Amino acid sequence: MVDYIIIGAGSAGCVLANRLSADTQTTVLLLEAGGPDSRREIHIPAAFSKLFKTPLDWAYETEEQPALDNRKLFWPRGKMLGGSSSMNAMIYIRGNPRDYDRWAELGNEGWSFADVLPYFKRAENQQHGASSLHGAGGPLDVCDLRTVNPLSQAFVDACVESGIARNDDFNSVRQEGAGLYQVTQRQGQRHSAAAAYLRPALKRPNLGVHSNAQATRILFEGRRTVGVQYRQNGTNAEARARREVILCVGAVNSPQLLLLSGIGAAEQLKRFSLEVVMDLPGVGLNLQDHVATGVLYECRQPITLAGAQSPRHLLDYIVFKRGPLTSNVAEAGAFVRSQPSLAGPDLQFHFAPVYFANNGFDVPPGHGFTFGPSLLHPESRGQIALRSPDPLAPPSIQPNYFKCEGDLHVLLEGLKLSRRLAQAKAFEPYRGTEVRPGAAVQAEAALIAFVRQSAQTLYHPVGTCKMGSDPLAVVDAKLRVHGLEGLRVVDASIMPNVVSGNTNAPTIMLAEKASEMIRQ
């Protein structure tokens, strides 16, 4: 028996494993369904998409999306130590301060931006040093890209030329503008949550880590959480917790495990002959995700990441940890308003100095670059639900992309802005033919059709165990599951609303905050 069982060694689970086991009087068991993070492509930044649809990826698929030509979308999620922080694009974005103030306004005391900033700073080892908004000396390295492609600089210049202000720090007082992204890397290699938090703690005798161990059910005695059943390497096992069981398996797996354990809408549980431990109708609801499209152009100079794996660049990476293999692919970006009247940005751009379409699986020949506008504040809401009472079966993922028509039209504005940026003077030395959607696609109806055909996830699902006190809330402001003792959820699923940007840094922050609440 241990004090704490943490389920999931992703971004949040690695933070909690480190912070809770720092107390030598506390025993911690960390369960991870995937394996170690030893594969080479994990640590070479530019290689992350090569991990998609491998054994290190849950490789989920959504239900058919009626507003996206009935397509089923691929949803990669990390299945290894570090979770999705071991296969993401390493972008360090906190979101807009207003995001957290809205969380607090919804009744979640202690979650305003002023409240969460200390936990962002605690996590951060900022290359440029400490300041009122940044931390230094934390576990997670945050740095500038070592090698910036000329096309990424051209994107920033094109934005400035088009009236978008330059922004050298998206995590400062002003999010709006265009600039180069900072990344979670150390010396040219990925700095995942496993590298930053878990690896330094592995030698502690009070921390046990079981990989290839998938939790199948949470155990209760009445309303008290007492342990976990899991399956490891084909064998069923059980672990018991004196204090708490903490779910850190993300916006897909956390609601699935709660449902399998009898926590959720009673009607859904009875449909699968599952005993109802707690009728919480909000489990799995409120699913939100950033959806993106891509505008692709041919590059007339052979300077893109298409040549990143040449022998010369590979040697540069192996010896000096520099060159295009240190790229996070989405090197530059921008936060903009689709309409001037808006209070803040509702579009985020990821610019890639290479063709990037269909999650990297569609690779047009030759050299190219990609504008990737994404929707920051989706109105559409989806659901995670059970397909089967089999804990090893994938759940049903229904994001309901563009169920609210306004979401599509915001993304359409992002597509149009991409085209205007591509025509800026900064791109004249590089710009060739528009590959997608193509110069012939001009009419509004044709552009909308292209968005429906091309839109895909930006890999930021949240919200399915949302924090709050309303009837559909799953956890309270201390992330304790309503109505139960000794059970918390600590991951992106607790976000009431998706943040304005990439979700890895916010997930690490909320785990830092949760570790303090748990210790108290």
Catalytic positions are 460
The residue count for the chain: 520
CB atoms within 10 A of CB 412: 18
Three-state secondary structure string covering 441-487: CCCHHHHHHHHHHHCEECCCCECCCCECCCCCCCECCCCEECCCECE
Q: Which of 350, 345, 378 has the alpha carbon at shortest distance from 174?
A: 345
Which residues is 372 bridged to in the sheet? 350
- Name 25's Cβ contacts closer than 8 Å, sequence gap at least 6: none
Which residues is 80 bridged to in the sheet? 35
The residue type found at 247 is L
**Encoded tokens for 145:** 């890209």
Instruction: Give the whole-angstrom CA distance, residue 520 versus residue 508.
Output: 19
Instruction: Give the whole-angstrom CA distance, residue 406 versus residue 378.
Output: 9
- Name 481's Cβ contacts closer than 8 Å, sequence gap at least 6: 258, 263, 278, 280, 465, 474, 475, 487, 488, 489
Q: The dihedral of CA 130, 135, 141, 142: what is its sign?
A: negative
Residue 422, helix vs strand vs coil: helix
- Residue 154, Cα to own-chain centre: how many angstroms? 27
Q: What DSSP designation does 331 have?
A: -
As a whole number of Å, the end-to-end CA separation of the chain is 21
Instruction: Give the whole-angstrom CA distance, residue 184 versus residue 504.
Output: 10
CB atoms within 10 A of CB 172: 15
- Name 459's Cβ contacts closer than 8 Å, sequence gap at least 6: 75, 76, 77, 84, 88, 290
Instruction: Give the whole-angstrom CA distance, residue 39 versus residue 55.
Output: 11
Q: Does an H or E element contain 141, and which?
A: strand 140-142
